[in-house]
Amino acid sequence: MNIFYEITLQISTPGLARLSNIVIFINQITEHLSTAISGTKYPPALRNACQVGLKLTNKYYSLMDMSPLYRIAIVLHPSFCNEYFKLANWEPKWISEAIRLTREMWVSVYKPKPITPPTSSAVVANKPKTGMLASLGSAAAAQGGHSSTDPLDMWLAGGLILNNNEPVNPLKWWLQQKKSGNTHGGLLQMVLDVLSCPVTSVDVERAFSFGCNYVSSKRHRLSAQSLSRGMAFAFYSKNGMIKEGVLVKWKDCIQTAKKGKSDGKGKRKVIVLDE
């Protein structure tokens, strides 16, 4: 039962679960249940319970096909890329489909448009090359024709990135790439958008529950703007991101502004005429 406890803990902890790990978690559970079913270590009653659990796991595994983000997140993971599918014994058509979904999102949404160079009216006559120079030019052209400059192709052809033979935190790794100025040809924005997607509804449900507690029976007439501002301030304060005294200073400024307006209303304008 340890594997179920560890996975449940990672999924339930805010900020700990990652989108790219969902497929891996399901594969681990599937392998664990299949081993228990096929072996003789456990009694028949427990093996039958594992069969029910495996059936339920396969049900949720099939539902992952409804969203391409799970597979795209693995392709864009620095420590997994498309190699994980091979290690997990995925069929070649499944691997091709995962790469196709990634490429489709990249081309249709994130791939930068090619920059057309300005046309030049001047025509320069190139001196024809002969002998070895011509052979070198042909070889370079042939080699360049086989190598792709597309950022996604370069990412798929690159090596895996590990930290002491352990997978790295994908979101942190890509954020480090952003800080260093490496956008990977525009692929960075796509990765951040995909990996930043919430894995489960845990954080959303907790935010909803907090909102229900925030809007008490005496606050039911709050506007949507006041409610969103109050919840945002509470979250910032809860995480220690608001310095001490900022709220008091803000309220003092509001009171001073209101007092200035009220003092100005009671005064009459005096018109002075020149003699």
- Residue 55 included in any domain: yes
Distance CA 6, CA 77 (A): 21
Cα 230 → chain centroid: 27
Q: Are 154 and 148 in contact (CB under 8 A)?
A: yes
Q: What pLDDT shows up at residue 105? A: 95
Q: What are the CA-CA distances from residue 2 to residues 5, 8, 68, 106 (Å)?
A: 5, 10, 29, 38
Residue 19: which of 11, 28, 27 has the closest Cα? Answer: 11
Phi, psi torsion values for 69, nearest 5 degrees: -65, -35
- Residue 234 included in any domain: no
Q: What pLDDT shows up at residue 217? A: 65
- Residue 215 included in any domain: no
Q: What are the CA-CA distances from residue 25 to residues 13, 38, 49, 140, 269 (Å)?
A: 15, 20, 19, 46, 75
Residue 150: which of 195, 189, 114 has the closest Cα? Answer: 114
Rg (CA), the chain: 30
Start-to-end C-alpha separation, the chain: 99
Distance CA 72, CA 82 (A): 10
pTM for the whole thing? 0.61
Q: Are 61 and 30 in contact (CB under 8 A)?
A: yes
Q: Are 4 and 29 in contact (CB under 8 A)?
A: yes
Show the domain range for 13: 2-113+148-195
Burial letters for 183-192: b for 16+ Cβ neighbours within 10 Å, e otherwise? Answer: ebeebbebbe
Distance CA 103, CA 72 (A): 9
Please report, in tens digits, the pLDDT of each residue of the chain (275 residues total): 788 888 878 777 766 677 777 888 888 888 889 988 988 888 989 889 999 999 988 888 888 788 889 899 999 999 888 888 888 888 899 899 999 999 999 999 999 887 766 655 444 445 454 443 344 344 334 434 445 688 999 999 888 888 888 888 888 999 999 999 999 999 999 999 998 887 766 666 666 676 676 666 666 677 878 878 888 888 788 778 888 888 888 888 888 888 877 665 655 655 555 55
- Provide CB contacts within 8 A for 256, sequence distance 6+: none
- Residue 157 included in any domain: yes
- Residue 121 included in any domain: no
- Residue 25 included in any domain: yes
- Residue 165 included in any domain: yes
- Residue 232 included in any domain: no
Task: Please count the structural domains in the chain.
Answer: 1
Identity of the amino acid at 39: G
DSSP string computed for 122-156? --PPPPPP-THHHHHHHHHHHHHHHS---HHHHHH
